[in-house]
């Protein structure tokens, strides 16, 4: 907890739903390494695959590192979606 | 769903935990109106108060409107925390 802020923690589970299990699995496999190697001392991010959904669990000490984690996670998912779209043309 | 994206939706529940119920209530009361009047056609945001936690439920059609909603929600919470800090000096 940052010294004077009464904010204890920010936790979230994000469910990103895709059209199919196969689509979710492709995106999951292409981003899981990013999550394992993401350096941030004030928040943890866990990625799990459940059918058509990719679940992103974020646990952050403060709102700034929470926002950074959410933005990174969504950026990685978007990037791999775009690459996937390009390779399917 | 945006025409060509295989991403169906992005949903999340964010739990922002405070030091005390009283602190959570002060912040909740100061931001609840923002959530009720936030115009965005591609995502919905709901705010609930549960003890020391403010729960923010976001349901977005795509990742862009999801990120916008998360960033707005966190910004409002931070702003009211800062105002609250100033008034307590």
Tens-digit pLDDT profile for residues A8-67? 899 999 999 999 999 999 999 999 988 888 766 789 999 999 999 999 999 999 998 999
Tell whether A19 lies on the interface with B, counting CB pairs under 8 A: yes
Residue B79 lies in a domain: yes
CA distance B37 to chain A (A): 22
Within a domain: B37: yes
Q: What is the CATH number of the domain that holds B74?
A: 3.30.310.50
Chain A residue numbers touching B9 (CB-CB < 8 A)? 16-17
Residues of A in contact with B66 (CB under 8 A): 14, 74
Distance in angstroms (rounded) separating the CA atoms of residues B15 and B78: 14
Q: Tell me, what's the ipTM?
A: 0.83
Domain count, chain B: 1
Give Cα separations from B79 to A16, A31, A66, B47, B86 (angstroms): 28, 33, 16, 16, 11
Instruction: For residues B37 and A53, give the distance between their C-alpha atoms in angstroms, rounded to a whole number.
Output: 30
């Amino acid at each position: 907890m940052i010294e004077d802020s009464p904010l204890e923690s920010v936790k979230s589970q994000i469910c990103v739903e895709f059209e199919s299990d196969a689509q979710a699995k492709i995106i999951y496999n292409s981003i899981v390494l990013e999550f394992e190697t993401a350096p941030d001392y004030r928040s943890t991010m866990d990625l799990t695959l459940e059918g058509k959904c990719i679940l992103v669990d974020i646990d952050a000490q403060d709102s700034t590192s929470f926002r950074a984690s959410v933005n990174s996670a969504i950026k990685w998912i978007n990037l791999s979606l775009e690459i996937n779209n390009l390779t399917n043309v």
